[in-house]
Amino acid sequence: MNNQARNGFEVSNPASNEDALQALGSGRILPARQQWVLEMRRYACACSVVVGGQGNGSGILVGPDLVLTNYHVVMTDKGDLHAASNIKCRFGYFETGEFADGRHNWADVNGIVTSSGVAPGDKELKTAASDFVDAAGELYDYALLRLAKPVGASAGKALTGNLDPLGWVLLVPDQELPALGQPVSVVQFPERTVALGRGYTQEASSIGSGKLIALIANGIRVEHSAPTRKGASGGGVFDSEIRLIGLHVAGKDRADKTAENRFIPINRILSDIRRKNEAVFKEMIAANPPDPIAFGLSRKMKNAIEERVAAAKVVLGRQLEHARILQAFAKETVVNQVLYQYKLDGFEYFVRRIREISTARLENRTITEVQFDFLQGKSGNGAAFIAWENGSFTWPRFDASEDEARSDMRLMLENYGYKPRTLLVIDVGDLERRNPATERQFIKLFGEVLWEYANRQAGGTTSRPMYQALVAYRRPAGAFDIRPFSPLWKDTAAPQRCGVSVTLTKLQFNEVLAWAQALNSAWSPEHVDVHENDFGPLVELHMSDALEILNKTISTAATKLVERSVETAG
């Protein structure tokens, strides 16, 4: 905390991951990925060190649960160390004003593993070697904190999203310093110059850039010109290759208003730790952070795998009805109906399939081609609905008259003002109290009202906005005769402006096999082999049961698919 506030403070952000990382399967992965990962670590592994509820300095994560900072950052007024229970480290603090307890990734400190005291030479920025020693030897002003949880092994916040795992900064015992005049940077949490709520004393993380100026006292300290402010103490100092070369320790402004700053070389700190605690030194050196290439791809790979798993599950929903549903939802302004059992029939996946697949135009494309693209993670060629709404439209009461139903439907459409190309999902309960003939008439009325609404939205133009509606009836959990509702109409006798009426009941085994064949074809040569013994003696099962059984198989195949695309791209 010896730094004095100074002008000329610089802030810079690393390049966006979209600039450095190409999409999986694009055919190339830029070498810049590794540089981007290291830049992310430089920021994400920096932390604000909070003592007694106030920001007191900076630190850097150097192991899964180890933070390196200055001794004077965690020092009491009497010169000894604060109790670990009084210290916290705060990661992911990138936006000024984010200082409420619930808005950060806080980490408790379990203990201070080892340390080296404050040197008198830093306070007045002296240069004689004698100013940096005491009776026990040279003083390197560091404290190694043991966190209560392995922050580096868990997902953590970075400037452009989460990194999973967060990782930590690599330590090299014999790390050489750059040549004089080479660029250096300091990641820090400077003191706030304007008070903002609760009196919290630090700004969000930022970076000061400068050059290496000179060695001090035979290399016990190093002078640098990167602008800093009070609060930068304990901040990591990096060279142009984003290697940790030291800890910032002190600074002040010269008479000519240039900065005079200094840092402690990391190789000196590690040598001192080795002398005092061989076991923890070996632990630190052995804790290599995740490989930069794998680290940089981990989040992107995870997302890609999750997308393909979700796509596979979506396509599984009622495979043999796929053609009917696609064709119905390819029409403009149409109402469809489905009967489903909550949490059993995979209605959530059914709706996703409607939204993601069936909205693709089918001209000159077969259903198989659309399905293949979806399994590969491709979207519906730009023709998908912009949104699907749920809960904003209330279905008429079971005892409503036709006039009441029509009036309420019109009012809700006009009041909400749905955007063109919206899929409206209407969830209907109380099936025990509803009459199939009345519900069929309600759906017919809604088809007419929605068609009128689309015409009004078009404003007389020849291009009519496209709307789709899915009226979904929840089947009661207990015994209930679904036959009067299953379906409400046949394809050949659908009310005007209406499409399909389907029931999501149980999957037949041949439906699972048809799905597996489509999946095997899309993901070839990594097959998803589905055998009869996967399901035991069952010949039919609820889709949720099928998804649970197949989840591991699908995930494994999706992982292989993504890994293969990475290998091909590399």
* Mean pLDDT (whole number) for 274-297: 82
Q: Is the pTM of this model over 0.75?
A: no
Q: What are the structural domain ranges in the chain?
A: 17-290, 320-503
Q: Three-state DSSP class for 263?
A: strand
Q: What are the pLDDT digits (tens) for 25-76?
A: 333 333 455 677 778 888 889 999 999 888 889 999 999 999 999 999 999 9
pLDDT in tens, 427-469: 998 899 999 999 999 999 999 999 999 888 877 666 667 788 9
The phi, psi pair for 277, rounded to 5°, reads -150, 85
Q: How far apart are CA 269 and CA 71, in angstroms?
A: 12
Answer yes or no: are the C-beta atoms of 334 and 500 closer than 8 Å.
Answer: no
Q: What is the DSSP string of 495-509?
A: PTTEEEEEE---EEH
Whole-angstrom distance, CA of residue 247 vs CA of residue 74: 15
Cα–Cα–Cα angle for 209, 210, 211, rounded to 5 degrees: 145
- Looking at residue 562, the DSSP 8-state letter turns out to be H
ω into residue 487 within 30 of 0, thus cis?
yes
Number of Cβ within 10 Å of residue 525's Cβ equals 8
> CA-to-CA distance for 184 and 427, rounded, in angstroms?
60
- In single-letter form, the type of residue at position 326 comes to L
Of residues 331 and 286, the one with the higher pLDDT is: 286
The yes or no reply on domain 17-290 and CATH 3.40.50.970 is: no
| Band (194; pLDDT cuts 50, 70, 90) | low
Short-list 168, 171, 169, 167, CA closest to 298: 167
- Mean pLDDT for the chain overall: 80
185 vs 374, higher pLDDT: 185
Q: Which residue, among 77, 73, 32, 38, has the nearest Cα to 56 in the 3D structure?
A: 73
Look at residue 373 in the predicted model and tell me its pLDDT.
74
**Calpha distance 237→395 (Å, rounded):** 62
Amino acid symbol at 172: V
Q: What is the DSSP letter of 313?
A: H
Assess whether the previous peptide bond of 525 is cis (omega < 30° from 0).
yes
Contact 80, 112 (CB under 8 A): no
| Rg, C-alpha atoms of the chain | 32
For 462, what's the count of Cα atoms within 13 Å in the CB-facing half-sphere? 0
Instruction: Kindly tell me if the per-residue pLDDT of 479 is higher than 70.
Output: yes
Is 444 in a helix, a strand, or coil?
A: helix
262: which 2 tokens? Answer: 């200094």
Q: What was the pLDDT predicted at 388?
A: 64
Question: How many CB atoms neighbour CB 447 within 10 A?
Answer: 22
Element (H, E) at 49: strand 46-51
Measure the CA angle with vertex 434, ends 428 and 439; round to 5°.
70
How confident is the model at residue 343, as a pLDDT? 74
Residue 384: what pLDDT? 52
**Does the pLDDT at position 138 exceed 80?**
yes
Q: Is the pLDDT of residue 87 over 60?
A: yes
